[in-house]
Structure 1
Amino acid sequence: MYLKRKIDEFLVQWKNNKDRLPLIVKGARQIGKTESINHFAKKYYSNIVYINFVLEPKYKTILSDGYDADSIVKNITLLDTKKKFIKDDTLLIFDEIQEYPDIATSLKSFKVDGKYDVICSGSLLGIHYQKIHSNSVGYKTDYEMYSMDFEEFLWAKGYDDTQIADLLKHMILQKPFGQTQFEVYKKLFLDYCILGGMPAVVRQYIETNSFSNTLEIQNQIRLDYEEDIRKYAQGLEQTKIASVYRNIPVQLAKENKKFQYNKLGKNARSREYTGCIDWLKDAGVISICYCLHFPELPLKGNYDENKFKLYYPDTGLLISTLDEEAQDDLRANKNLGIYKGALYENFVAEAFLKQGLGLYYYKKENATLEEDFFVRTKDVLIPVEVKANKNSSKSLNQLISNKNYSDIHYGIKLGDSNIGFENNIYTFPYFCAFLLKRYLKKQN
């Protein structure tokens, strides 16, 4: 059972580009990179040469005669005479390139040679921490892949682009959803939050129409991530990196969700852990939301690198870290709000990340003003509040009404409520968060 992914369309567009460059598909492990690439390859190429550097370590010698395409092809066919190369109809797939990153240096030669298409794939774990002679700048295309977003989950459940376009239309026209529509999408959204977007988890859910064994799969994925930390991280950094990764759920559960190093250990200091956080971010297993210096445009460069919140890029994996009683409660009652909004906030961060929106928040030094997220159009800064309850939005109102924040004209509130507009605040249900970038484009 193949699950439709957004990379599918990208790969077709890539192939249709006559001047296409070798492609590198990056992302955390088990998000579906290899499955999507192989699905595309079988559909559009009659000849596929697939090499996995983890399962087939013998191919780690194919650069022994140089980085030029002819030498590499010759060495591949020497190692396996069954592998054939047909000019203009061969896709060469190098998988798990974090095990053999030097192969990236050959991409320039394959582009210049022009006889074969090349796609590389690998987890980010370790890619940035091994010596690469050259990364073929200007001769490759990079594609960042994540676990399934809510739209891809809806596709897996049988919903199509027409229904998704209707969701966006409701947002643009400020038309509240009917009761049935609201309840159906709310249930789907809560199921997605608990499951997350790991293809193996979603597939299990679709095939069984239940949560059966999904938690076991999620737990195994997290254990695999930690195993990769031990495999790729160097020396004592392993323990520190694992400590940061495990501590994120604990810190998100606090009222003050700013990441605090002293929660990692009594004598923990930021200088000891900064590289660990960068490592996890590059690995694709955490995302960072930076605190703005001041709520104004531009966003890039207008933030404090030492103040941030950390999230899991897959809310299902975050939920899988909770204790058994919490797991049972969530799966039975779908009540995410009791966890101080941390789970909803993580979901919104995940939705923003997967849309390519930056992650920024703001908290005034005296704690009198705090906002969960910020997005922007061309000329306007928009605060976004995540509400796990029906309480009023004090900070949101203050940001909109105070003339000191001249780049802010209106705000957005995401919550367990229907579409609405009041006091320059647009309200959308959580299940619309994945459409926010498309909605903002319509506001320009």
Structure 2
Amino acid sequence: MLKRKMLDTLRSWRAEKGAECLLIKGARQVGKSYIVAEFGRQDYESFISIDFIGSPDLKRVFDGPIDADSIYRQISLVVPGVRFVPGRTLLFLDEIQECPRARAALKYLALDGRCDVVASGSLLGIRFKEEAALASIPVGYEREVEMGPLDFEEYLWARGYGEDDIANLREYYESLMPVPVAVNQKMMQMLREYLAVGGMPAVVDAFARTGNFAVAFDEQSRLLASYLDDVARYAQAPERVRARACFESLPRQLAKENTKFQYSVVENRGTARKFGSSVDWLVGAGMVRRCQSVSATQFPLAAYEDGTKFRLYAADTGVLMAMYGFEMLEAVVNNKLAGPMKGGLYENLVACMLSARGVALRYWRSQKGDREIEFLVDSPDASVVPIEVKASRGSTVSLNDMLERQDVNLGYKLIDGNVGRDGKKVTLPLYMAMFLK
């Protein structure tokens, strides 16, 4: 069993919830169904699961009245051997985007309270855009959380590292003391492995069991094919070809010196008018992460977002490996990459690591293109924290310039190196991005 942080989130929700259901959002195959099933089996006397994709006929449970009594009566008719134990039953509504009336029913199930209710959805950013569906969202009666692929800490758990090992690394991060050379080199090796394998549970499990990159790549390729199949199945007809073309352009987008997403890379003379909604579809499906450009590096960053400029990163680097081909895994693991593509890959890796920490992705690039900061984060002290990513040990002119300002108190340089500090600039090994927030 892969250890996931979401299990702790589920237990915290159960302990502190009021009249609310829990809705877990996230891309397909990130492990939502698996972790809720584990939660149900470990923490409840009775676990009832309704999968609206696996058993679409069960949608009829919600065809009639959606008050709690009617729903539970209908479930008892269609789910063999079901038991409702008040206070000790978990009802799981899986792939709820397939049944809008089930989502509307969450309000009444939450108010009733005899069962705890968790729902999950893979394409909620897309399937609930219709006006009728929007009207049915039970505002105030559901708590939303997002689940993604395994983050680097979870990956280390899967590879045999314990919580004490992570805590020891965190001490070096917090004290800004250099990590012992052997430990630092090993962690950089594990980070490159994570970059190559990614965080999708099926891939991580296959690699953890076999130690075989070929087996991992087979799983990555299967996942890539299923993602492309989702585009063909769920995107509206005008978007299918365009969304796929945008997604398949990611390897080329990341190989540029300036990784800003360019529609002309998708198609010669491509425009936002033609492909903009396709990018939105990919973001809504959880297949990519959008990193928004800002026109000024000042707090609050949201006030300076430029909606016309952004970068797109794959939500999982393992799926990205499948797009590059098997040979890329060896080049990544053995650190043989060079040039702009290496920088783009590590940008994508750090974007995934920051997203896993709940950090909004934003970047800045000067109008002349001679200065850029890969990531910017709002700080609680009403300042901005710049984060520069270096796949090797290059200079940080842009970061140095920004740190000269009086209103910038701290900046991070992520490198293939060790911990250090020079005034307001903190240098960290790339794997310590898992601690940034």
- Residue pairs, 1:196-211, within 5 angstroms: 196-211=198-213
Paired with 1:289 and 1:80, the residues of 2 have a C-alpha distance of: 44
Residue number in structure 2 paired with 1:236:
238
Query: Normalising by structure 2, what TM-score?
Result: 0.95
Q: Is contact 2:291–2:362 with CA below 8 Å preserved after alignment?
A: yes
Q: How does 1:315-394 map to 2 (within 5 A)?
A: 315-331=317-333, 333-338=334-339, 339-379=341-381, 380-394=383-397
Identify the range of structure 1 (60-69 vs 127-136) with the bigger mean alpha-carbon deviation: 127-136
- The answer to whether the Cα contact below 8 Å between 2:45 and 2:88 also exists between their aligned partners in 1 is yes
1:76 deviation in Å? 1.8
User: How far, CA to CA, are the matches of 1:400 and 1:374 in structure 2?
Assistant: 13
Secondary structure, in 3 states, of the residue corresponding to 1:356? Answer: coil
The whole-number CA distance in structure 2 between the counterparts of 1:81 and 1:171 is 53
Secondary structure in 1 matching 2:394: coil
Q: How does 1:69-148 map to 2 (within 5 A)?
A: 69-124=68-123, 126-130=126-130, 131-132=132-133, 133-148=135-150
- Give the equivalent residue in structure 2 for 1:441: none
Tell me, in whole angstroms, the C-alpha distance in 2 between the residues paired with 1:207 and 1:323: 22
1:398 aligns with 2:398: no
Three-state SS of the structure 1 residue aligned to 2:395 is: coil
What is aligned with 2:415?
Answer: 415
Partner of 1:428: 428
1:300 is displaced (CA, Å) by 1.2
The aligned runs of 1:15-34 (5 Å cut-off) are: 15-17=14-16, 19=18, 21-34=20-33
Aligned residue in 2 for 1:216: 218
3-state DSSP class of the match of 1:94?
Answer: strand
Per the alignment, residue 295 of structure 2 pairs with 293
Q: How does 1:204-283 map to 2 (within 5 A)?
A: 204-283=206-285
CA distance in structure 2 between the partners assigned to 1:87 and 1:390 by the alignment: 59
Residues 1:251 and 1:93: Cα distance change in structure 2 (over 3 Å): same
Q: Contact 1:319–1:343 (CA<8 Å) still a contact in 2?
A: no
Q: Note the C-alpha offset of 1:18.
A: 5.3
> Within 1, Cα distance between the matches of 2:336 and 2:426?
24
Q: Give % identity.
A: 35
Look up the SS of the partner of 2:160 in the other structure. Answer: coil
CA distance in 2, matches of 1:370, 1:79: 58
What one-letter code is carried by the residue in structure 2 that aligns with 1:9?
D
Aligned counterparts of 1:165 and 1:376: Cα–Cα separation in 2 = 25
Shift of 1:256: 1.3
| CA distance in 2: counterparts of 1:247 and 1:115, whole angstroms | 49
Q: Which moved more, 1:427-436 or 1:262-271?
A: 262-271
In 1, the alpha carbon distance for the partners of 2:19 and 2:427 equals 42
In structure 2, distance between residues paired with 1:279 and 1:160: 38
Three-state SS of the structure 1 residue aligned to 2:413 is strand
Q: Secondary structure at the match of 2:221?
A: helix
| Correspondence for 1:164 | 166
Post-superposition shift, 1:98?
Answer: 2.0
1:20 Cα deviation from its structure 2 partner = 5.2
**Which residue of 297, 305, 308 corresponds with 2:307?**
305
Contact 2:411-2:426 at 8 Å conserved across structures: yes
| Residue type at the aligned position of 1:335 | K
Q: What letter matches 1:424 in structure 2?
A: K
Aligned length: 432
Across the aligned residues of Structure 1 and Structure 2, the Cα RMSD in angstroms comes to: 1.6
1:301 deviates by: 2.2
Once the two structures are TM-superposed, the CA of residue 336 in structure 1 deviates from its matched residue by 4.4
Give distance in 2, aligned partners of 1:349 and 1:281: 14
Which letter maps to 1:200? Answer: A
- Determine if contact 1:289/1:359 at 8 Å carries over to the other structure: yes
1:64 positional shift: 2.0
> How has the CA–CA distance of structure 1 residues 337 and 145 changed in structure 2, closer, same or farther, with 3 Å as cutoff?
farther
CA displacement at 1:374 relative to structure 2? 0.9
Q: CA deviation at 1:381?
A: 1.2
What do the CA deviations read for 1:275-305 (whole angstroms, capped 9, x no partner)? 2112111111101111111111111121101
Conserved 8 A contact 1:14-1:20:
no
- Per mean C-alpha deviation after superposition, the further-off stretch among 205-214 and 25-34 is 205-214
Partner amino acid for 1:363?
R
How far does residue 147 in structure 1 lie from its aligned partner after superposition? 0.3
Preserved contact between residue 45 and residue 85 of structure 2 (Cα < 8 Å): no
The code of the aligned residue for 1:334 comes to N
Which residue in the other structure is 1:177 paired with?
Answer: 179
More displaced stretch, 428-437 vs 57-66: 57-66
What TM-score do you get using the length of structure 1 for normalisation? Answer: 0.93
Q: Hey, what's the Cα distance between the residues in 2 that align with 1:44 and 1:290? A: 40
Q: More deviation in 117-126 or 176-185?
A: 117-126
Give the SS at the match of 1:353: helix
Counterpart CA distance in 2 for 1:204 and 1:170 is 31
Query: How much has 1:337 moved relative to structure 2?
Result: 4.5
After superposition, the C-alpha distances for 1:293-343 in whole angstroms (9 at most, x for unaligned) are 111111112110110110012112222211344344334x23344534111
**TM-superposed deviation, 1:215:** 0.7
Please give the alpha-carbon distance, in whole angstroms, between the structure 2 residues aligned to 1:315 and 1:432. Answer: 17
